[in-house]
């Protein structure tokens, strides 16, 4: 556990040195601010962050792989993976540590959006309960997205490839599935509805706490972290 945290802390510190993280963070905050001020923060509108959360959930399909792409890929490319994997640390501790590191950075980014909520509270009465479930949804969704990105990063020494693979997987579950629900035939549209990340997320953004959503995002996180450990282990055998 201590070693996991050591890995996590190193990773988090790495984000504050990395220009990519700053650019992604700035773009994310800029996009959500634009969305907030042009679509939500208008006199007469409902004082709710719901539309913002939904927009952010889509932005995250592209933003999270950019945050996670360097996690393992960079270590493979630079060779530091060799010192890491010959230290007395299990592969699982490395994966979980890296995941916690990027999750912490994600939470920092997310905390930046609390400003919008505060602005709303000044000019209206937003439902704080709804906002809280919305944030919980963002955290759960973020955890699942980041684990997908981390998995993509264990596959290749090239960060760009890792980002593209991550985005492709996320787009499948966040965008493709919605399309499939609309146009798919009998059994497929039902299956797609079950795998659609956005269905689960919408409940949270509307202020509904649904254990199905919690189970979906947490099990997705666990699955992709498990796959990351396995691909990392398999590197040794190649």
Q: Does 168 bind another protein (CB under 8 A)?
A: no
Q: Does 234 bind another protein (CB under 8 A)?
A: no
Q: Which residue lies nearer to another protein by CB, 38 or 236?
A: 236
The length of the chain is 238
Q: Does 178 bind another protein (CB under 8 A)?
A: no
Compute the least distance from the CB of residue 14 to another protein, in Å: 6
The 12-41 site mask, x for binding another protein (CB under 8 A), equals: -xx--xx-----------------------
Task: Give DSSP secondary structure letters for the chain.
Answer: -HHHHHHHHHHHHHHHH-HHHHHHHHHHHHHHHHHIIIIISSTTS-S--HHHHHHHHHHHHHHHHHHHTHHHHHHHHHSHHHHHHTSS--HHHHHHHHHHHHHHHHHHHHHHTHHHHHHHHHHS---HHHHHHHHHHHHHHHHHHHHHHHHHHHS-S-HHHHHHHHHHHHHIIIIIHHHHHHH--HHHHHHHHHH-HHHHHHHHHTT---HHHHHHHHHHHHHHHHHHHHHHHHHHH-
Site for another protein in 65-94 (CB under 8 A): 78-90
Compute the least distance from the CB of residue 228 to another protein, in Å: 18
Compute the least distance from the CB of residue 78 to another protein, in Å: 5
Q: Which residue lies nearer to another protein by CB, 18 or 178?
A: 18
Tokens of 110: 């997310």
Tokens of 135: 């944030």
# chain residues binding another protein, by CB under 8 A? 24
Compute the least distance from the CB of residue 159 to another protein, in Å: 14
Q: Which residue lies nearer to another protein by CB, 29 or 89?
A: 89
Compute the least distance from the CB of residue 83 to another protein, in Å: 6
Site for another protein in 89-118 (CB under 8 A): 89-90
Q: Does 10 bind another protein (CB under 8 A)?
A: yes
Tell me how far apart the alpha carbons of residues 170 and 64 are, in angstroms, rounded to a whole number. Answer: 9
Catalog residues that contact another protein under the rule CB under 8 A. Answer: 2-3, 6-7, 10, 13-14, 17-18, 78-90, 236-237
């Amino acid at each position: 556990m201590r070693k996991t945290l050591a890995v996590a802390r190193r990773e988090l510190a790495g984000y504050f040195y990395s220009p990519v993280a700053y650019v992604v963070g700035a773009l994310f905050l800029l996009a959500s601010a634009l969305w907030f001020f042009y679509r939500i923060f208008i006199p007469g509108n409902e004082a709710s962050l719901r539309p913002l959360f939904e927009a952010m959930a889509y932005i995250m399909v592209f933003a999270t792989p950019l945050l996670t792409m360097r996690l393992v890929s960079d270590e493979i490319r630079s060779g530091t993976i060799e010192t890491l994997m010959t230290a007395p640390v299990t592969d699982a501790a490395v994966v979980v540590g890296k995941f916690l590191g990027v999750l912490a950075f994600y939470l920092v980014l997310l905390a930046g959006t609390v400003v919008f909520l505060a602005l709303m509270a000044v000019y209206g009465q937003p439902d704080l309960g709804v906002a809280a479930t919305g944030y919980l949804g963002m955290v759960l969704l973020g955890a699942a997205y980041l684990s997908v990105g981390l998995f993509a990063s264990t596959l290749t020494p090239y960060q760009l490839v890792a980002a593209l693979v991550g985005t492709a997987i996320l787009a499948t579950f966040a965008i493709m599935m919605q399309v499939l629900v609309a146009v798919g035939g009998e059994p497929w549209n039902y299956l797609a509805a079950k795998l659609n990340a956005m269905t689960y997320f919408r409940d949270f953004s509307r202020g509904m706490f649904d254990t199905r959503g919690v189970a979906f995002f947490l099990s997705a996180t666990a699955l992709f972290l498990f796959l990351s450990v396995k691909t990392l282990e398999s590197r040794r055998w190649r």
